[in-house]
């Protein structure tokens, strides 16, 4: 999975991998310490001028993967990022 925000592209095998990459790319170390769910809520609050928080279901019934995927889909839909392809991990010869 590939996700682009501005000129930066993030890759991962799952939506959670992409969210983890976004967290690690934050200049402020505070966000790096947040859980996936906490980071998504924080990020949505930062994007509140573009994406209404009510659009994201943060129910505890959703797995982190489903929540992360919904978050990325919302960012894509509202123009705060875009899916840019499918990431294919390099094969490792055994």
For 67-91, the pLDDT digits (tens) are 999 999 999 999 999 998 765 566 6
Q: Where are the domains of the chain?
A: 2-85
For 19-72, the pLDDT digits (tens) are 999 998 887 767 778 899 999 999 999 999 999 888 888 888 889 999 999 999
Distance CA 65, CA 19 (A): 10
- Supply the pLDDT for residue 93: 67
Q: Per-residue confidence at 94, pLDDT binned at 50, 70, 90? A: low
pTM to 2 decimal places:
0.85
- Supply the pLDDT for residue 19: 96
Is the separation of the CB atoms in 30 and 16 below 8 Å? no
The residue count for the chain: 94
């Amino acid at each position: 999975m590939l996700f682009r925000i501005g000129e930066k592209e993030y890759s991962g095998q799952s939506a959670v991998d992409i969210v983890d990459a976004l967290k690690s790319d934050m200049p402020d170390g505070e966000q790096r310490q947040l859980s996936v769910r906490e980071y998504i809520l924080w990020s949505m609050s930062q994007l509140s001028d573009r994406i209404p928080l009510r659009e994201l279901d943060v129910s505890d019934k959703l797995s982190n993967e489903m929540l992360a995927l919904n978050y990325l889909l919302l960012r894509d839909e509202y123009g705060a990022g875009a899916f840019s392809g499918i990431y294919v991990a390099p094969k490792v010869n055994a």
